[in-house]
Each structure stands twice: as C-alpha cells, then as structure tokens.
Amino acid sequence: MTDFDFNSEISLAVSHNSILHIWSFILTTCLLVTVLAIYRYVSSQCTYWETQGVKTVSVGLLTRFTKQWHEWEHELCKRNGKIFGIYEMTKPVLFVSDPDLIRDILVKDFHIFNNRRDFSTGVEPLLDNMLTVVKDEQWKKIRSIMSPTFSTGKLKKMMPLIVECRNSLFNNLDKIAKTDGQTDMKRLLGAYAMEVVIQVAFGTKVDALFDENNPIIVNARKVFGQNINPKLILVLFAPKLAKLLKISPFDKKVMNFFKDLTLNIIEERKRNNDSVKRIDFLQLMLDSMQNNITLDSEENKDNDHEKYKEIQATDDIDKTLTSDELVAQCVLFFLAGYETSATTMSLCLHQIAKHPEVQQKLYLESKKYFDEYKGVDYDELNSLKYLNAVIMETQRLLPAALFLERVPNEDYELRGTGITIKKGHIVHIPLYAMQRDADNFADPEVFRPERFLPENIAHHPYAYLPFGAGPRNCIGMRLAQMEVRLGLISLANRYRFYPSEKPLEFFTSGGGMIPKTVMVKMERRA
C-alpha cells in the first residue's frame, strides 16, 4: 500500500464518520423536536380541569403499569381527595369518590351516563357486540333480553344444578384433603365457577373441568392471566389509534375458541330440538333471535332498591338479536362469569384461613344450614347473615373490579360543585380506594365481617360498590351471590382451612384485582 493510498483511506473513513455524525445529529434533533412538539401539544390540550377549578394530577403511564394497579390508585386517591382530574394522553378523566355524587351519576342521571368508555375495536364483532361494550339503544335491547336469566325465579330453579357443581367440587377437594392438603383454591374454584356458567348458560354438563389442562379453563385463564397486555393498554389509552391499526385487546385464538365452543353448543341444541322448554340463558337468546320473546318486567320485581333496579322492558324496545349479538353474549358469559366469581370465593377462603375466629362462626352457621336444610335450600341460603357478611367484607377489601367508569352523552354539571364534565369525558369511580377510606368505613384496613351484619351497617350505600350500581350494574350479581354463598358455606362446613406462607400476588392487567394463585392448606372436618 502506498503513502497516498493510506492517506486517502484515512480521509475516506474520516469523511464517512463525519457524515454519520451529521446524520445522527440531524436525526436526534428531529426526534427531540418531535417529542417536544408532542409534549407541547399534549400539555396545551391538558388544561380543561384547570378551567373548572379542579385539582389536576399528572400521572405517569409507566408508574401506572409497573406498580400493582390497586396500590397505585389507592395512593393517588389518598393524596388527592374526593374529586380530582387526570389526563390520559389528552383525554380528561375525573376521579369522583363522593358517594352522593356517585349516586347521581350511576342512578339519578343514568340517562346521561348510560355508557362506559369506548372499548369497541371496529374489527372484532365478537367483542364489539358484548353487553359490557355496546352503547345506548343496543345496550338497552341486549340488557333487557338477558336480564330475565338472572331473576330470582329462574335462579331458584337453577339451584339444584349449582348444587351438582358444588358436589363435584367436594369430590375433588376430598381427594386433596387426603394428601398434604396444600392447594391453589383459585384453580379449583375456577373449575366450579366455569361449571356453574356452563350449566346456567347452556344447560349442559361438561365433565373434567377440574382437570388443569381442560382447554376451556386453559383459554379462560389466558384472557385475564397476564400482567401487562400492551394491546389492552393501546385500546384503553389511544382508542382511535387502536382502531386505525385494527387492534383487538384479546388474543384472537382465545376468542375463536369460545366462539366455536358456543356455536357447537347452539348447533347441538338446534339438532336435538327437544320438546321440554328450557330455562337457560341460551334458550332466551335463541328465542329472541326468532322474535319469540316476551319481556316480563315482573321477573325483576325483586330488584326494587334503586341501587340495583333494572331498566324497565317496554314494548318499544326492539327484541330481536342478530347472530353476532347472540354469540358475543354467550362468549361474554364465559369470560365475565369465570374469573370474578372464582376470585371472590378463593379470597373469602384466604380471609377465613387467616381469621380462625371468623371461620369458627361461619362453621356454626353452616351446621344449621346443613343439619336442617341439607345444604340445598335457596331461600335459607340467602338468609345466612354471617355468611353474607364474610363475603361482603372480603369484597370490600379485595374487590374483583377496582373501579367503575361512565361517560356522559351531554355536558353535565356535577351537583353543588360548579364543575362541568363535557360530553365524552370519562368519570372514574375508584371503588377499591373508596372501600378502604376511613371516611366510609371505620378501621378500613381491618377485616371485620360484623360491620356488614344488618344491625351494624353504617356506610353510605354508594360507598360500597363491588357489583357497581344503577341500571348498568353487574347483570350476573344474583347468580354470582348464589354461587359464592353456596360454595363458601359448603366448604366451611366440610373442611378446615389454614393460611399458607405464600402471600397473595395479583395480575395488574385491566383494572381487575385477580390473584395469580390463592394457596391454602385444608383438611376434612371429622
């Protein structure tokens, strides 16, 4: 190599390096300018709460998803009081924890707050037609077709089917009690909850649900069983972008699994076409597809308290379901009925295992139910006051849903505050934080079921919302209460539970408080 060549190689390398440096400088500057421009744009859009005199809190997206959601939200509410505003990107969200205002939003002015935030995908009819997602008239139609499934009369008729599910649970727990008794109650009660859903929804018994590898259970666990679901985050915080990118928050394979399962059950029902009139959820849906349904508002006459009053079914409501709507509600039934009930029951067991004095009182109450009513009577089950108090106290401290949300369909002035919430803004009701607020419950961190005995109840009805409230509350509440009450009283009667060393750990996804496992040690009572 000559001197000349050597120098030109060096000068070529130097000039390449300089070009690279110039380009990386230009790119970094562009990136910084873009980030700054987005930041300035977002900040300039985030001024609404200021104009309303509302305390504004800036929250980082990262802290929200790296911390356990319930802890994050609890701390936020403790620091900032009963009304404050945040922004999700540029969307104004108002946190409201005042029980009187919550009553206005959920019940009194329900005609304005009848929808949740937009969760539709525009590409996934299975999700977009679910009762939890649909809006306005479509919601009214589907809700009034579904609600008779959960009337007291129907549930009473279903009690023997649920007792059968409870008996399969016993069979499985008896086997575990013969080993060292250490078990994940969340898994076992998940199988019980799924059996109940399948019985109530489809009048079908599916065997082997207690098998951990059963595909129904495996797929149901996939829906909620992850810590951070990036697609869900995008749908929640940038719904327009998610729609543009045609993103659906749940795994398509899982959704298709439940869709195919539902279609098979429907096909079988049509093939068998037996003459016995069935009372299950699927039959109500199929009848409504043929416009063959009489909406009986008498069915719900027990829902007389305003907190849980159903919308009234009137003649002007369209009563015909499309096939997309039918399949979506069936799949929703699987998803909504499984994780929430299994979580509530297993957390009740976790609590009684940690509080032996509570467990003993519950056992004494269970003895009467089993000795006098053989553990199968519907009305008597609902009159067990201590059982009810244990469940309510567990749901106060560890509710399956951490918050409720509503979106007004017109501008709305919050009574007595001078604050106007604009059409399309989000109202966020942080029920986990409210249920642990000393203004609502004395010694809020203490597990004390006695506070829910009828003679001791002292809280505002809208400070306790594990099933939501108003016409858009949990449609499955009565079914869930029946299944959880029957499950818990039966287990307390037959077994003794001891706490496990393993602390509870929750998934952080989606605003639910879903434990990964609930380990307890159990033994059969003599």
Is residue 341 near ligand HEM by the rule CB under 6 A? yes
- Which residues sit opposite 521 in a β-bridge? 182, 498
Question: Is residue 404 at the binding interface for ligand HEM, with CB under 6 A as the rule?
Answer: yes
CB 72 within 8 A of CB 64: yes
287 Cβ contact partners less than 8 Å away, ≥ 6 residues apart: 293
Cβ at position 189, least distance to ligand HEM in Å:
11
Instruction: Return d(Cα 72, Cα 79) in angstroms, integer.
Output: 11
Residues 174-203 that bind ligand HEM (CB under 6 A): 197
Overall residue count recorded for the chain in this entry: 526
Let me know: does 386 contact 361? Beta carbons within 8 Å.
yes
Instruction: Give one DSSP letter per residue of 78-126, joined into a string.
Output: HHH-SEEEEEETTEEEEEE--HHHHHIIIIITTTTS-B------SS-HH
Q: Which amino acid is residue 283, in one-letter code? A: Q
CA distance 313 to 294: 10
Q: Does 480 bind ligand HEM (CB under 6 A)?
A: yes
Under the criterion CB under 6 A, does residue 340 sit at the interface with ligand HEM?
A: yes
Confirm or reject binding of residue 344 to ligand HEM (CB under 6 A): yes
Looking from the CA of 214 toward its CB, the CA atoms found within 13 Å total 17
468 binds ligand HEM (CB under 6 A): yes
Q: Which residues pair with 519 in a beta bridge?
A: 184
Is 474 annotated as belonging to a binding site? yes
Please state the closest distance from residue 142 (CB atom) to ligand HEM, in A.
8
487 binds ligand HEM (CB under 6 A): no
Shortest Å, Cβ 510 to ligand HEM:
12
132 near ligand HEM (CB under 6 A) = yes
- Interface pick for ligand HEM out of 472, 485, 494, 496 (rule CB under 6 A): 472
138 lines the binding site for ligand HEM (CB under 6 A): no
Q: Which helix (H) or strand (E) holds 512?
A: none
**Cα gap 239→145, rounded to integer Å:** 29
Which residue in 343, 442, 475 sits closest to 400, CA to CA?
343
Locate tokens 């300089």: which residue?
A: 18
Q: Nearest distance from residue 245's CB to ligand HEM, in Å?
A: 26
Residue carrying the six token digits 């120098």: 7
When asked if residue 474 is in the footprint of ligand HEM (CB under 6 A), the reply is yes
Cite the DSSP H helix spans in 384-512: 385-397, 431-435, 477-494
- How many helices (H) and strands (E) the chain has is answered by 20, 11
Residue 46 or 282 with smaller CB distance to ligand HEM:
282
Decide whether 96 or 176 has the Cβ nearer to ligand HEM.
Answer: 96
Lay out the site mask for ligand HEM across 293-332 (x = CB under 6 A, - = otherwise): ---------------------------------------x
Residue whose CB is less far from ligand HEM, 239 or 470 = 470
Name the one range near ligand HEM by CB under 6 A: 175-183, 442-450, 473-481, 509-517.
473-481
Does 336 help bind ligand HEM (rule: CB under 6 A)?
Answer: yes
Is 400 a binder of ligand HEM (CB under 6 A)? yes
Site track for ligand HEM across 425-464, x = CB under 6 A: ----------------------------------------
Smallest distance, Å, CB 146 to ligand HEM? 7
Give the Cβ contact number of residue 57 at 10 Å.
14
Distances (CA, A) of 507 to 111, 226, 228, 436: 34, 6, 8, 20
Residue 475 found at the interface with ligand HEM (CB under 6 A): yes
d(CA 507, CA 384): 32
Segment contacting ligand HEM (CB under 6 A): 10-18, 413-421, 436-444, 474-482? 474-482
| Whole-angstrom distance, CA of residue 162 vs CA of residue 165 | 5
As annotated, the binding site for heme includes 474
Q: Which residues bind ligand HEM (CB under 6 A)?
A: 131-132, 143, 197, 332-333, 336-337, 340-341, 344, 400-401, 404, 466-469, 472-476, 479-480, 484
